[in-house]
Structure 1
């Protein structure tokens, strides 16, 4: 059986890292044998320059996309710039012919511009969530996923998630044993738990334009480990429950309960990363009724357990 043909599309101002990931993983040296037939494709054959001063030679043009089993768009330099129509048409035709079309990180935007993601699940870098949803409202963006596969349309989150996505494709094509061997040689996990939620900066407002809400927020932060109910907080702010709820949402964009939950989780992240308290003590310190509730809410929001978070961001159990 012939090796699957992989067309790796190099576009102007490409990202050297995003290009290098599929070059390495689908190349010959990392697997010690030829598992894939990798071709570098440009809009036209020739030298393509990166913004960082690198350049590569694309030995093929878009015509090679038509005969590929896997087409990879490793990056796109400007999310608001529509790619050349000749590239978009080639991607649509390749998908129609049965190829897997892959958009790594901002490469997902190229699939979106081609119309391939309409009605499909997709992933991209979390920082570009709003741009993606604005440009491609018919796509179903999963902002937590490291990668998504929907009907041979595979998209990934940012930067290092390209490794996860490419290893996923290798597992599909040549099996888990080979994919695991390649991952070991790359010194990366063959499969990562969780998603990009653990890397998203969840902003909690420090202050608002409402002085009374600011006073209440300061009180909540100073007493985060205590139970809070809306009636008591409303009295503290000299408001009715209904008025407090309306003002709090207007000032912070969240309900009181949601704000408290997010702030407790944010505080717990700092303690996991910078201290030696046990998970049970952290749960108590930030105001969760039990360590079980803390673990459940942490896992629900970030996709990993508190212990896994500590291992990721401190390098220890």
Structure 2
């Protein structure tokens, strides 16, 4: 059981407060008993807190919850505000003890205010990025991606990206299958890569039936075990390579090659967790061709080897 402390405050967004309790605590999903996370909401001064939605909430726990937590989540923060000495001390102590810090949307502002991200990078909502960069010049503020995972500090953009970030945490802790099953219960996308742009000019076409890029993406997902070159792929969309590449980036926020590599890595990750197939076989089934190529890309994208990843989740399942 992993202990998670979610820090609430006066004026908090109830949506952002609900995200970690929904995704990590399974509150309201119908599978609460399956959660390996013990999520507790706390505040510097417990009691009745106001929300940005115009209604109040009651918080029973104070900052002592942070003392025993494996993860501290800031589900938002007040733009332009620092953190109190009490919050700063509690967060520093938790981080020094090994707790991960998570900032959702403007929650990255609170983490930056503690000084624990100096010299590092944080992601936040694009609308607050410039102001946050001015307020914390020692922090590299990212507004061009959905979330950033530094291992001990994880931050995300706003609203829906907070869901993506928390699902990413579940994916890292429990594996791709657990994250996919949870996403299904939430009726949301199982995985959006953190490097995806926050703003995509053509995120949703007016008519899915007439979206050739979507059809090309579906085709590629069902042919990962084959060699998919850009020429063949663009012909599936009835476009030139140049037009296909441009339209694909407009549609997804990334290049066709990078998107395809992410799909193959995700599929390899799932097969490593859920099957006993050899690394050579998984490499063939996911289109990497060889175990050497799979190991190279797997390590580059996930920071670990296929064998180590499989061993980690085999151990977690026992």
TM norm structure 2: 0.64
Corresponding residue SS for 2:189? coil
2:2 alignment partner in structure 1: 4
Comparing 177-186 with 133-142, greater Cα deviation is found at 133-142
Corresponding residue SS for 1:101? strand
Deviations 1:233-266 (A, max 9, x none): xxxxxxxxxxxxxxxxxxxxxxxxxxxxxxxxx7
**Residue 136 of structure 1, CA deviation:** 1.5
Residues 132, 177 of structure 1: alpha-carbon distance in 2 compared, 3 angstrom cutoff: same
Deviations 1:186-241 (A, max 9, x none): 001110247563526xxxxxxxxxxxxxxxxxxxxxxxxxxxxxxxxxxxxxxxxx
Deviations 1:27-63 (A, max 9, x none): 2453342421111100122121112222222221111
1:50 alignment partner in structure 2: 51
Q: State how far apart, in whole Å, the 1-side matches of 2:97 and 2:211 are.
A: 56
**Residue 300 of structure 1, CA deviation:** 5.8
Q: State how far apart, in whole Å, the 1-side matches of 2:103 and 2:94 are.
A: 14
2:118 alignment partner in structure 1: 118
2:127 alignment partner in structure 1: 127
Corresponding residue SS for 1:199? coil
Residues 128, 299 of structure 1: alpha-carbon distance in 2 compared, 3 angstrom cutoff: farther
Deviations 1:126-166 (A, max 9, x none): 11121121112222223222111113100000111010111
Q: State how far apart, in whole Å, the 2-side matches of 1:143 and 1:270 are.
A: 17
2:14 alignment partner in structure 1: 16
**Residue 291 of structure 1, CA deviation:** 3.3
Contact 1:129 1:143 in 2 (8 A): yes
**Residue 305 of structure 1, CA deviation:** 5.9
Q: State how far apart, in whole Å, the 2-side matches of 1:43 and 1:163 are.
A: 25
Contact 2:147 2:194 in 1 (8 A): no
TM norm structure 1: 0.64
Corresponding residue SS for 1:102? strand
Corresponding residue SS for 1:137? coil
| Equivalent residue runs for 1:163-182 within 5 Å | 163-182=163-182
Q: State how far apart, in whole Å, the 2-side matches of 1:50 and 1:107 are.
A: 15
Residues 167, 272 of structure 1: alpha-carbon distance in 2 compared, 3 angstrom cutoff: closer
Q: State how far apart, in whole Å, the 2-side matches of 1:41 and 1:198 are.
A: 29
Residues 84, 305 of structure 1: alpha-carbon distance in 2 compared, 3 angstrom cutoff: same
**Residue 110 of structure 1, CA deviation:** 0.3
| Equivalent residue runs for 1:142-291 within 5 Å | 142-193=142-193, 195=195, 197=197, 199=199, 269=202, 273=206, 291=240
Deviations 1:109-140 (A, max 9, x none): 00011111111121111111211211122222
**Residue 13 of structure 1, CA deviation:** 0.2
Contact 2:129 2:142 in 1 (8 A): no
**Residue 90 of structure 1, CA deviation:** 1.3
Residues 197, 71 of structure 1: alpha-carbon distance in 2 compared, 3 angstrom cutoff: same
Comparing 91-100 with 290-299, greater Cα deviation is found at 290-299
Residues 134, 294 of structure 1: alpha-carbon distance in 2 compared, 3 angstrom cutoff: farther
The number of residues matched between the two structures is 227
2:72 alignment partner in structure 1: 71
Q: State how far apart, in whole Å, the 2-side matches of 1:76 and 1:112 are.
A: 11
1:286 alignment partner in structure 2: none
Q: Does 1:97 align with 2:97?
A: yes
Q: State how far apart, in whole Å, the 1-side matches of 2:205 and 2:69 are.
A: 46
